[in-house]
Amino acid sequence: MSTELLAPLDLAFWHLESDAHPMHLGALAVFAPAPGVGPERILGLLGTRAAAIPRLRMGVRDVLLPVGGKAWTVDKDFDVHRHVEQVVVPDGDFMAGATRLAGELMERPLGRGLPPWRMYLICGADGGPFAVLVKLHHALADGMRAVAIGAGIFDEIAAVTSARTTARGRTVVPPRSWLPDPREMAGMALGRIGEVGRALGVGASVVRAGRLDLWGSSALTAPSSGTRRLVIADLDAGDLQRIRRAEGGTANDILLAVVAGALRRWMAERGDSLPAADPRALVPVSRRRPGGATASGNRLSAYLLGLPVTAADPRERLRAVRTAMDRNKAAGPLKGAGAVAVLADQLPPLAHRLGAPLAANAARMLFDVLVTSVPLPRSALSLGGCPLTALYPMAPLARGQSLAVALSTHGGRVHVGLVADGKALPDLDRLAAAVEDEFTELYTLVAGPDRTPVS
């Protein structure tokens, strides 16, 4: 793989990171055991397959031009054993121990001197199911790209990749110079003129989306402690589709309405008053297109959505979400707080280096919680013959946010990963339970009291 500059949005994520705000994505993949397959075998497979993914051999280094820029370059001293580690959870409930441990591991920033990723094999003390925690820096990949990279550890994907590599052989492309020739310099200058105009328009949209009247939930606005907790929830994908067919909209609309209802339930259980204004969610949207060219960096936009927690009826909440999301889609990705990602793509590298502290603190004025859906392959997946039973995605927390919700669908289930600041939201498990309860209530309203949701 040749050396390449970090795209502007990748550079933004790189500079936004701090010790208290690590900017890595995560996923906790859970596997059922298979006869004769032990931790040594799985750990060896993880190392071998991760080392065969070219992107995971790339680190970040400074470059002379453009000023403030950085580049991905092959780590000549790459050693996969620095990135893959086995950890054991104590006796007891394996999933409870694995999620607790995953939250603690997500607290740790990725070292900047090495390719920015880690994998942890999480095993129980007495065998049984196991899990793999994958951490990828957000500069390395967005959600869809992270899935494409992480999928390389699965038996089915690794077999196809190995066959293609064997068929065509390996081609090593030498790094190119970072001193562009005069023709490149002229092209960059002309391109920058156009980018300035686009940036001004997008920037104006972002400013209009900002708020001075911040949402008043003490939990979601608590100072960041740098701690992390992961709690999971599970919903039935078949029931989700039954709700969609009855009520219309998209599956994502329904899940957003469920999150809104869960926040309402959670606040009521805590004795919190309902806010005067609905909290804002930032809903990331991939700008990748099926069949389009595969870009290595982040290709993101997002929509801004008021989560209708003040609406008492679940169906009313769903209608409000559908209306708002339809409006967002009609306006396009250059409107509202989602334009932050597009704006970052228009700025020169030096602006990211100098403006990162300001941008990090501005997130609180734009949104309160991140809610994202991560697409997964629909086919069955396995690792060393051990079938994948669940995959819980994890999103990073922006400065000033205490909660991020990520969802993925696989094997007939919707897996929900809730990541929170551990000190700000010590009762995160109650919010996870509220997600499941809200989904059950919505399904019962749609299907009728005689239809029992699938547990």
Model confidence at 213: pLDDT above 80:
no
The number of CA neighbours under 13 Å toward the Cβ of 283 is: 24
Instruction: Give percent above pLDDT 70 in the chain.
Output: 73
Task: Pick the more confident residue, 365 or 141.
Answer: 141
Task: Pick the more confident residue, 112 or 209.
Answer: 112
| Highest-scoring range by mean pLDDT, 61-70, 155-164, 284-293 | 61-70
| 286: number of Cβ within 10 Å | 18
- Over residues 241-276, the pLDDT tens digits come to 999 999 999 999 999 999 999 999 999 999 988 888
Strands 84-89 and 117-124: parallel
Mean pLDDT score of the chain: 79
pLDDT score at 394: 94
Could you tell me if residue 216 is left (phi over 0), alpha (psi between -120 and 50 degrees) or otherwise beta?
alpha
The strands making up 130-137's β-sheet, listed across from edge to edge, are 84-89, 117-124, 130-137, 24-31, 386-394, 382-383
Q: How confident is the model at residue 230 (pLDDT cuts 50, 70, 90)?
A: very high
- Of 20, 7, 60, the closest CA to residue 399 belongs to 20
- Of 371, 376, 405, the closest CA to residue 390 belongs to 376
Give dist(CA 240, CA 204) in Å, integer.
38
Give the residue-averaged pLDDT of 151-164. 77
pLDDT score at 8: 74
Task: Pick the more confident residue, 185 or 298.
Answer: 298
384: its two tokens: 């060393």
- Over residues 289-306, the pLDDT tens digits come to 544 444 555 455 678 889
Give dist(CA 34, CA 183) in Å, integer.
58
Task: Pick the more confident residue, 377 or 420.
Answer: 420
